[in-house]
Amino acid sequence: MQPLVEMKGITKRFPGVTALDTISFSVMAGEVHILLGENGAGKSTLMKILSGVYEPTEGSIIIEGKTFNRLSPKESTLNGISIIYQELSLVNELSILENVYIGKLIEKKVLGFKMVDYNTMFLKTKGLLKRLGLRRKPSDKVSDLSISEKQIVEIAKALAFNAKIIIMDEPTSSLTSEEVTRLFQVVRQLKREGKGIVYISHKMDELKKIGDRVTVLKDGCFVGTKTIEEIEVKDMIKMMVGREVNSRYLSTKSEEDIRKNKIFQAKNITRKDRKVVDVSFDIYEGEVLGFAGLVGAGRTELMDAIFGTAPTSSGEIFLKHKKINNKNAYSTIKQGIGLLTENRRETGFFHNFNIEQNTTFIDSIKKSFLGGIGGLVNHKNDNAMVLKQKEQFNIKCRDVKQNITELSGGNQQKVIIGKWMASKAEMLIFDEPTKGIDVGTKSEIYRIMRQLANDGKVIIMVSSEMPELLSVCDRIVVFSQGRIKTVLSSKEATEEKILSAAATQS
Ligand SMILES: Nc1ncnc2c1ncn2[C@@H]1O[C@H](COP(=O)(O)OP(=O)(O)OP(=O)(O)O)[C@@H](O)[C@H]1O
Ligand SMILES: [Mg+2]
């Protein structure tokens, strides 16, 4: 069978880096082809060449017998290729219909004049939403949709263009487990319709469920292509990381030993908007405390209240027996608490700073406070620290003066994590820290979290990834509707128990 598309000998060089080195890759009709590799391996770059964003330095693309040396975005679309980016690209202010037909409105002639044919677009959009099982009206505004619904709209958009090949670059990084199940149903349907799907993900537990073939890249080079039946997940990891990866980082101390010294306390926290109601919990020395819950449970809202970025009507927090004045983020940071936010695009980093500036920023705030004069910051040790982090987290960059927006998605996230780990904070709250991070680096982040906890720091991890909570947290708080439902120790916690507690209504 002839592939829908074949990429041959693709090389892509950016100034100072070979992102892809003579890569070959193909997609068949009716298959999900998983593209796997560490952060910065070249996955997104290869797909951007297919979607016409980048011109390959060398190589060719063959679509239905036609050979191209490069594709423009328009040629790519006309040849049936559609890409759903790591960061979705819908316009929030517009309706579903407008987003689906953006840039390619259907027109009709009325009395010799060209008019936009809303009726046809409405009916077509309605048909697409039905086909994809999305219970929404074409006129609904995109800003009202959940992330998974937005993803389905992106797929509708692809289908409206008659896409034959749909590229999904980390589609599930922000989805809950039920939403992932829904997306997979849609993907299976697309397969039955003969579409070819390229699927990129760092969630290793998904791959066997959805893939037909796997291609692994490493540092821009081809490692291998296998059918899903002939390879186990642990071998995929070995192919991409080059070694086996440890995934359990629980405390080695006994529960009784851990419960000796209370180092953080939250008392009766209630938000003014009541998204969090009367929440109290403790953290003991040497413990990593996890927060599980469904999306919308209020975990991020709780962390905002603790950090001082959301108004509260009651509540106090104590760090190492000292009451913390958390009236705003600036004050909270100064007293030693850091928050790694869930949404890196909006709040995680400073776009026009380079890697080094991003990494040392938090420390600069603290130093400038202690030194009394803003601006007068001692940068002498910064470079060594940044270089150490680059090494530790395997941050792929040309040098630390490179702008952060040029890094691959996962490497941007690593810079942000490094920023907080470097901040010498006494307490760190990580909200979905490993989104988009490859399996090898994930394990390194868990190891460092555990080490920080062992060194007496207070560590909270909010995560929607059950395997991650179970492998790192000594206790897991299950959160729902702005309240604590239950707290499970690592011994008693299972995915089923967490889910059932998270889903109970009060
Ligand atoms: N516009 C650019 N300018 C310079 N270098 C770039 C650019 N885009 C990508 N790169 C580099 O190319 C390499 C591959 O990046 P790419 O985004 O393809 O990685 P990826 O496999 O998608 O990683 P991730 O899993 O983190 O998303 C990286 O070293 C990256 O820094
Ligand atoms: Mg990428």
Closest CA to 41 of 12, 69, 63, 70: 12
Residue minimizing CA distance to atom 1 of ligand 1: 406
Distance (Å) of CA 402 to CA 20, 139, 145, 439? 19, 43, 35, 24
Evaluate whether 446 touches 423 at the Cβ level (below 8 Å): no
Ligand 1: atom nearest CA of 438 is 25
Please write the tens of the pLDDT for every residue from 133-160: 889 999 999 999 887 788 889 889 888 8
Residue 374 predicted with pLDDT over 60? no
Which class is 5-241 in CATH?
alpha beta
Residue minimizing CA distance to atom 22 of ligand 1: 44
Ligand 1: atom nearest CA of 48 is 18
Evaluate whether 148 touches 95 at the Cβ level (below 8 Å): no
Beta bridge partners of 323: 318
Pocket of ligand 1, beta carbon within 6 A:
14, 17, 19, 37, 39-45, 396, 406-411
Residue 113 predicted with pLDDT over 90? no
Q: Quick one: pLDDT at residue 246?
A: 79
Task: Supply 150's token pair.
Answer: 């937005």
Residue 328 predicted with pLDDT over 80? yes
259-503 shares the fold of 5-241: yes
Largest Cα–Cα separation, the chain? 84
Q: Quick one: pLDDT at residue 359?
A: 60
Q: Quick one: pLDDT at residue 190?
A: 92
Residue minimizing CA distance to atom 8 of ligand 1: 406
Please write the tens of the pLDDT for every residue from 192-225: 999 999 999 999 989 999 999 999 999 999 999 9
Evaluate whether 206 touches 200 at the Cβ level (below 8 Å): no
Please write the tens of the pLDDT for every residue from 473-490: 999 999 999 999 999 999
Q: Quick one: pLDDT at residue 360?
A: 59
Task: Supply 22's token pair.
Answer: 């003579």
Residue 177 predicted with pLDDT over 80? no
pTM: 0.82
Please report which ligand is nearest the Cα atom of 10.
1
3-state SS, residue 330: helix
Query: Residue holding tokens 């995934």?
Result: 247
Distance 428 CA to ligand 1 centre (A): 28
Q: Quick one: pLDDT at residue 242?
A: 86
Please write the tens of the pLDDT for every residue from 273-286: 999 999 999 999 99
Please report which ligand is nearest the Cα atom of 436.
1
Residue 412 predicted with pLDDT over 90? no
Q: Quick one: pLDDT at residue 378?
A: 41
In angstroms, the CA 455 to CA 92 distance is 44
Confidence band, pLDDT 50/70/90 cuts, at residue 346 = very low
In angstroms, the CA 297 to CA 480 distance is 4
Residue 436 predicted with pLDDT over 50? yes
Distance 215 CA to ligand 2 centre (A): 15
Confidence band, pLDDT 50/70/90 cuts, at residue 395 = confident
Residue 28 predicted with pLDDT over 60? yes
Confidence band, pLDDT 50/70/90 cuts, at residue 361 = low
Q: Ligand 1, residues 20, 35, 38, 45: which to mutate, most atoms within 8 A of Cβ?
A: 45
Residue 355 predicted with pLDDT over 60? yes
Q: Mean pLDDT: which of 47-51, 141-145, 462-466 is highest?
A: 47-51
Distance 242 CA to ligand 2 centre (A): 19
Q: Quick one: pLDDT at residue 381?
A: 54
CB atoms within 10 A of CB 2: 11
Strand locations in 15-159, DSSP E? 17-27, 32-36, 58-63, 66-68, 81-84, 107-110, 113-116
Residue 343 predicted with pLDDT over 70? no
Assigned CATH topology for domain 259-503: Rossmann fold (3.40.50)
**What average pLDDT does this structure show over 410-424?**
78
Q: Ligand 1, residues 44, 198, 351: which to mutate, most atoms within 8 A of Cβ?
A: 44
Please report which ligand is nearest the Cα atom of 12.
1
Residue 372 predicted with pLDDT over 50? no
- List all residues 6 or more positions away from 441 whose beta carbon is below 8 Å from its beta carbon: 38, 39, 393, 394, 410, 414
Share of the chain above pLDDT 70, in %: 91
Give the type of residue at 53: V
Q: Lowest mean pLDDT of 37-46, 403-412, 427-436, name the range.
A: 403-412
Q: What are phi and psi of 134, to 5 degrees?
A: -100, 115
Residue 379 predicted with pLDDT over 80? no
Q: Quick one: pLDDT at residue 483?
A: 96
Confidence band, pLDDT 50/70/90 cuts, at residue 370 = very low
The residue ranges of every structural domain in the chain are 5-241, 259-503
